[in-house]
Chains A and B, each alone.
Chain A
Amino acid sequence: MKFGCRFRCSPRSAVVALWLACSSALSAQDSAVEIRGQTVRTIPIALSGFPDEVRKILEFDLYVVGFEVASAKPQYRLTGTVQGEVRGTLADANTQTALFSRAYPGGTTRAQAHALANDVVKTLLQLPGIAQTKIAFRNLPGGRNAKGETISEVWASDYDGANGVALTADNSISFGPSWVPGQLKLFYTSFRAARPEIYLQDLRSGDRTRIFSFPGTSSSPAVSPDGRQVVMVLSRSGSPDLWIANVDGSGLKQLTTTKELEASPCWSPDGRTICFTSADSGRPTLYTIPATGGAMKRLNTGGVTQCTEPDWSPDGKWIAFTRAAGEFTLYVMPAGGGSAEAVVAGEDPSWSPNSRTLIFTRRAGAERRLSLLDVPSRHVKDLSRISGSCSQPSWAR
Chain B
Amino acid sequence: MKSFLSRAVLFLVAVSLVGGSVGCSKKPKNLTPLPAGQSGAPAPTDSVPLEGTGGTSPGAGRLPGSENGVGGTDLSNGGGLGLGDQGLNPNLDARNKLENREIFANDNVYFDFDKFNVKPQYMANITKVADYLKAHPTDSLLVEGHTDDRGTEEYNLALGERRAQSVRDRLVSAGVSGDRITTISYGKEKPAVIGNTEEAFAKNRRGVFVLLSNPAAIQ
Which positions in A face B, CB cutoff 8 Å? 1-8, 10-12, 14-15, 18, 21-22, 25, 100, 102-108, 110-112, 114-115, 118-119, 122-123, 128-129, 132, 134, 138, 141, 144, 147-150, 152-153, 156-158, 162-170, 173, 175-176, 184, 191, 193-196, 201, 203-217, 219-220, 233, 235-236, 238-240, 245, 248-250, 252, 260-264, 277, 279, 283-284, 308-309, 322, 324, 328, 347-348, 385-388, 391-392
Contact = CB atoms under 8 A, between A and B. Distances in A.
Contact of A196 (B30, B67, B184): B184
Contacts of B24: 209-210
Contacts, number: 350
B154 A264 contact: yes
Interface of B: 11, 13-28, 30-35, 37-42, 44, 47, 49-51, 53, 55-63, 65-84, 87-89, 92, 114, 116, 150-155, 157-162, 164-165, 182-186, 189-191
A96 to B, nearest CB: 20
Contact of B16 (A3, A103, A215): A215
Contacts of B164: 216
Contacts of B28: 205-207
A236 B67 CA distance: 45
A190 to B, nearest CB: 10
A179 B144 CA distance: 29
B96 to A, nearest CB: 11
Contacts of A152: 189
Nearest to A10: B51
B34 A164 contact: yes
Given A14-B71, A105-B59, A206 B80 contact: yes
Which 9 A/B pairs are nearest by Cβ-Cβ distance?
A106-B58, A5-B71, A6-B69, A206-B82, A206-B28, A6-B59, A4-B58, A240-B158, A217-B161
A15 B79 CA distance: 13
7 contacts: A6-B71, A105-B62, A141-B35, A165-B44, A194-B16, A212-B21, A249-B23
Given A217-B185, A235-B161, A128 B68 contact: yes
A11 B52 CA distance: 10
Contact of B57 (A7, A162, A170, A328): A7
Contacts of A387: 35, 37-38
B59 A102 contact: no
A58 B88 CA distance: 46
Given A2-B78, A167-B32, A216-B161, A264 B155 contact: yes
A240 B162 contact: yes
Contacts of A263: 152, 154-155, 157-158
Nearest to B156: A263
Contacts of B20: 213-214
Contact of B75 (A144, A156, A168): A156
Given A206-B82, A219-B158, A102 B63 contact: yes
A347 B151 CA distance: 10
Nearest to B157: A219
A239 B162 contact: yes
Contact of A264 (B47, B59, B81, B152): B152
A392 B154 CA distance: 9
The winner among A165, A220, A260 for most chain B CB atoms within 10 A is A165
B152 A3 contact: no
A201 B24 CA distance: 11
A118 B183 contact: no
Contacts of A122: 65-67
Contacts of A22: 67-68
Nearest to B186: A149
Contacts of B35: 141, 166, 387-388
B154 A220 contact: yes
Contacts of B116: 261
Contact of A167 (B38, B72, B81, B183): B81
B158 A262 contact: yes
B34 to A, nearest CB: 7
B80 A205 contact: yes
A204 B77 CA distance: 11
Contacts of A134: 73, 75
B63 A2 contact: no
A145 to B, nearest CB: 10
B60 A7 contact: yes
A22 B72 CA distance: 12
A372 to B, nearest CB: 17
A277 B159 CA distance: 12
Nearest to B29: A206
A49 to B, nearest CB: 19
B206 to A, nearest CB: 13
B17 A215 contact: yes
A169 B72 contact: no
